Amino acid sequence: MRYMEEFRDPKAAKAVLARIAAVVDEIGATAEKPLHIMEICGGHTHAIFRYGLDKLTHPGIEFIHGPGCPVCVLPRARVDDCIAIARRPEVIFATFGDAMRVPGTEMSLLEAKAGGADIRMVYSPLDALELARRNPEREVVFFGLGFETTTPSTALSIQAAAREGLGNFSVFCNHITVPPPLRALLSDPDMRLDGFVGPGHVSMVIGIHAYDFIAGEFGKPIVVAGFEPLDLLQSVLMAVEQIRDGRAEVENQYARVVPEHGNPVSLAAIADVYEMRPSFEWRGLGEIDQSGLRIRDGYRRHDAEAKFGIGYGAAARGSAEPEDCACGQVMTGRLKPTACPHFGKGCTPGMPLGALMVSSEGACAAYYQYGGARAAAE
């Protein structure tokens, strides 16, 4: 399959759906006792709802939405840190658009911008680097955010700033890694997960063996998947076939893009610039050991936390969610978005209460955009 339309072919999709249904029937799963398949990536969540795959697949499969949206898992305290940096008069704060409307304790970055902070939306850290070149009298801070997908580009920008001697460029590092929260979820005795659809973009960087513990230690199948309808359906088929056969393996449906051992150039840049934090806070999961990255001392000049004395290591602040906000439960697959009392009422894309309604990869945004708004009104 070389062309996009082949990955959206209805005839081929029907054939895969029929095969899924046959395997699920063999397993004996039903709507009352379904298989719980977690799609880790928020991009997969949106694709599932965009194409109606949750409605097309056998009722014996229930999709569980995982912690694969980097904007969504960021706790409010880190948004507060961003705003504290951005409101400094000497700072130009550069961020991806997804993060602009994520609520902090008192306001979002968008509201801080409306209040006079110099906050600019960029499409890559290279844009922020160019801002630093053009504004040598200002401190340019880039909001480094995301999983392993975006981590290399931030690392390369820091390396470039160091080579050029751009002392006015720094990164507020909130980069996180996928495997640790999955281990946390699998270690929770209250979580029932039968298999995983693994993240495609992250796996382009880290390869597939970072998930070996899911199969080896926890006995659960995981299939790294692409983002088109047939990618996802084929991945679900591969996962349920493993369940039927009593296997637990790491398989790569997205082999046309994802190399087995990842991208060596990206991995080298990450290793050069970052080291693991002892712990990092995740929305809905709390502190998870060895799950976040920080900038190494060799690049301390470009570390906004060190430069401004903010973030981890500074005075602790609470980051509890608003009362009755279910972001944490939705983020960890314990609750569907429509079960949140605020969904579509006190929390909408225009007036979000939590991050999951804001991000282009958020589960609440997916439900709302692809029919959840109607469900909320019922």
**Pair (168, 273) in one structural domain:** yes
Question: Do 84 and 170 share a domain, yes or no?
Answer: yes
CATH of the domain at 221: 3.40.50.11750
| CATH code of the domain containing 100 | 3.40.50.11740
Whether residues 160 and 303 fall in one domain:
yes
> Which single residue is written with the structure tokens 């469900």?
375
Quickly tell me which residue has 């190494």 as its tokens: 296
Residue 272 domain-assigned (yes or no): yes
Helix 125-134 to helix 151-164 angle (10° resolution) is: 20
**In a domain? residue 182:** no
User: Are 291 and 244 found together in one domain?
Assistant: no
The letter for the amino acid at 353 is L
State the chain's mean pLDDT as an integer. Answer: 91
Mean pLDDT (whole number) for 237-243: 98
148 with 23, same domain: the answer is no
Question: Does residue 92 fall inside a structural domain?
Answer: yes
- Asked if residue 49 has pLDDT above 80, the reply is yes
Q: What is the pLDDT of residue 315?
A: 45
pLDDT single digits (tens) 125-177: 999 999 999 999 999 999 999 999 999 999 999 999 999 999 999 999 999 99
pLDDT band at 73 (very low <50, low <70, confident <90, very high): confident
Whether the per-residue pLDDT at 82 is higher than 60: the answer is yes
- Please indicate, yes or no, whether residues 26 and 132 belong to a single structural domain of this protein: no
Of 250, 268, 248, 249, nearest in space to 258 by CA: 250
Nearest to 122 by CA among 114, 132, 112: 132
Q: Are residues 196 and 161 in the same domain?
A: no
Looking at the fold, whether 137 and 106 belong to one and the same domain comes out as: yes
Domain extent for 146: 72-177+261-308
**Do the domain assignments include residue 13?**
yes
CA distance 56 to 59: 8
Residue 135 lies in a domain: yes
Does 45 share its domain with 113? no
- The verdict on 43 and 149 lying in the same domain is no
* Same-domain status, 242 and 104: no
Beta bridge partners, 173, equal 144
Residues composing the chain = 378
- Is residue 315, in this structure, part of any structural domain at all? no
Q: Are 10 and 18 in contact (CB under 8 A)?
A: no
CB 153 within 8 A of CB 125: yes
Q: How many CB atoms are closer than 10 A to CB 249?
A: 17
Q: What is the mean pLDDT of the segment spanning 299-316?
A: 82
Indicate the number of domains in the chain.
3
Please say whether the beta carbons of 64 and 193 come within 8 A.
Answer: yes
User: Nearest Cα to 281, choosing from 78, 40, 65, 96?
Assistant: 78
One domain for residues 93 and 226: no
In the chain, how many H helices and how many E strands? 16, 13
pLDDT at 298 > cutoff 90: yes
Q: In terms of DSSP bridges, do strands 286-289 and 279-282 run parallel, antiparallel, or are they unpaired?
A: antiparallel
Q: Give the model confidence (pLDDT) of 181-236 as tens digits.
A: 999 999 999 899 999 999 999 999 999 999 999 999 999 999 999 999 999 999 99
Q: What is the pLDDT of residues 30-46, one digit of tens each?
A: 999 999 999 999 999 99
- pTM for this structure? 0.90
Main-chain phi, psi angles of 257, to 5 degrees = -125, -40
Phi-psi region of 295 (alpha: psi -120 to 50; beta: other; left: phi over 0): beta
Amino acid at 254: Y
Domain contains 186? no
Mean pLDDT over 91-101 rounds to 94
Q: Where do we find the tokens 């060190």?
A: 306
Which residues on neighbouring strands pair with residue 198, listed in sequence order?
224
Tokens for 183, please give them.
């281990």
CA dist., res. 73 & res. 62, Å (int)? 22
CA-to-CA dists, residue 331 to 107, 138, 149, 375, angstroms: 21, 37, 19, 19
Which residue from 94, 93, 105, 158 is spatially nearest to 294, judged by alpha carbons? 158
Q: Is residue 25 part of a domain?
A: yes
